[in-house]
Structure 1
């Protein structure tokens, strides 16, 4: 089972995560198969050759069902923003190599990610404190307003990564952290607005293009900071 990033634009989740910032997942077994997107890509081929007993389909549906049950039944949404922040730190370090020698400051980005780390740690501690205080009985029944408020913060943090103006030249894509590559809809980028601006700078080498890169760094930093504020309960 593969659970990948939602950076590419070639799937149904695109409208949810990349346009309006709804937490989403894309689960799949394996990679592509020989008849993908060909005239043979139909039920007959799958029944005869691809998965004759539909065992893989049953396995995939079972996993999806278990994930859905977990999301529905857990009193706290199982969102791990510490893991999210860790991914952002890795992407920011990769970005640092790409802008080396350009005079671009990534300090705002790294600072905002540190704020996200602190906020993610804080909300995890809050969850743990509630669990320990309420014991084994249903936390929801004992303190439903507190649980709902904390879950709302977990749910809305993803939307804070969006910007109403969207990516430059691609306003439909409003998520500033993950989006398809500008030149390849199936490819994916972390910090797509910054990546696009870097490419433009390398192609044109103008002072304005350098400023555009820095501007995009500030936009992403602001979005990450907003997500941290949402997790802290300071921004709704």
Structure 2
């Protein structure tokens, strides 16, 4: 049987609108919170579950501000948290911004345009980007993806937020990778800004849900996805708490050791041809792990006393330098827009992420010289970052 399929689509030019709101703070450092507002179809899960959580985060911050709380509490490091809100509503001491992106479903257009236009400022000042497309897609597993640097902050915040399931929520422990699925892409893979994407995800025991169809509706959410909207509430609490901790702690609660451990795991599963010499990369990863442990230990010691401004700067600048240091400004050879040598979206994995993307890309070419060059390039990146974070 022959079937003729006709795709009758109207192509039109449209403007995209990013909604960016700013709450002023003392210094220029920032944490960006983002969610897109354009749906593929009905959009109750993607992106409205994330948008509703973001609105609640903004409402909480605004309520505290109108009560005068912000006049009495300035984050210790005066970081401005970037949140998506109306620009002139909240005259706060603590600088905060949220970004509501447009054009996500059509190629991450809104966030990519904004981030590249502001790339110099973001590279100098942005500590982290926290994205929520979906508070929940009906699943019961807290399944974030993101940079391992943010793991400790996320886990500590998750301990505080009550489980929306009436029992301890299951957490996906293999979360420390980022794919190309949403608006964190330009931050993590192009600008070298630690990023994470949060969601209560469906697991293997859950039915296929209504992703990007007309059934992505409020009715489905109320009956099946999140009756009572408890997972929505928990995500708003988690999102806000992670952002607040990143913005208010004098010393950033980041984890260089977890970053080193994730890279070591990636090396162990690399499966390079026998003719490729990866011994220098292995030694480089060992040195990176050693210096990462020293950095985390020094940071932990500062939490037991009042650190000096010089100590705060010494620690925080080294943590930020990890992500920036892994940027290769010529980009990956087969896709130069992607510049991160530690983590990246897989070349053929769809939404999946990989460790050491330059090496992973080279593997597909089955050319020993090309693979060796990628290994050497990655080794140089690891050594560069190790020197960046080395304490006196």
Whose RCO is larger (CA < 8 A, sep 6+)?
1
Residue 220 of structure 1 pairs with residue 378 of structure 2: yes
Residue 88 of structure 1 pairs with residue 260 of structure 2: no
Aligned residue for 1:152?
317
Aligned residue for 2:182?
11
Residue 229 of structure 1 pairs with residue 387 of structure 2: yes
- Distance in 2 separating the partners of 1:68 and 1:31: 24
Give the 3-state SS of the residue equivalent to 2:344 in structure 1: strand
Aligned residue for 2:192?
21
Q: 1:44-193 alignment to 2 at 5 Å?
A: 44-95=219-270, 98-101=271-274, 103-132=275-304, 135=305, 138-139=306-307, 143-193=308-358
- Displacement over 4 Å in runs of 4+: none
Quote the offset at 1:25 in angstroms.
1.4
- Which structure has the highest strand share of the two? 2
Quote the offset at 1:105 in angstroms.
0.6
Contact residue 6 and residue 26 of structure 1 kept, 8 A: no
Give the 3-state SS of the residue equivalent to 1:164 in structure 2: coil
Contact residue 331 and residue 340 of structure 2 kept, 8 A: yes
Give the 3-state SS of the residue equivalent to 1:175 in structure 2: coil
Quote the offset at 1:115 in angstroms.
1.6
Unaligned runs of at least 5 residues, structure 1: 202-208
- Which structure has the highest helix share of the two? 1
Give the 3-state SS of the residue equivalent to 1:145 in structure 2: helix
1:54-106 CA distance string (max 9 Å, x none): 221111111111111221222211111111111111111111xx2243x1011
Quote the offset at 1:125 in angstroms.
3.2
Please give the TM-score of this superposition, normalised by the length of structure 1: 0.84
Unaligned runs of at least 5 residues, structure 2: 1-141, 145-174
Contact residue 7 and residue 190 of structure 1 kept, 8 A: no
Give the 3-state SS of the residue equivalent to 1:54 in structure 2: helix
Please give the TM-score of this superposition, normalised by the length of structure 2: 0.52
Aligned residue for 1:2?
143
- Distance in 2 separating the partners of 1:195 and 1:60: 33
Query: Which stretch of structure 1 is more off in the superposition, 118-127 or 189-198?
Result: 118-127
- Distance in 2 separating the partners of 1:185 and 1:165: 23
Give the 3-state SS of the residue equivalent to 2:352 in structure 1: strand
- Distance in 1 separating the partners of 2:365 and 2:210: 37
Length, aligned pairs only: 217
- Distance in 1 separating the partners of 2:200 and 2:219: 20
Quote the offset at 1:40 in angstroms.
2.0
Quote the offset at 1:37 in angstroms.
1.3
Contact residue 161 and residue 176 of structure 1 kept, 8 A: yes
Q: 1:150 to 1:195 in 2, by over 3 A?
A: same
Aligned residue for 2:53?
none
Contact residue 181 and residue 189 of structure 1 kept, 8 A: yes
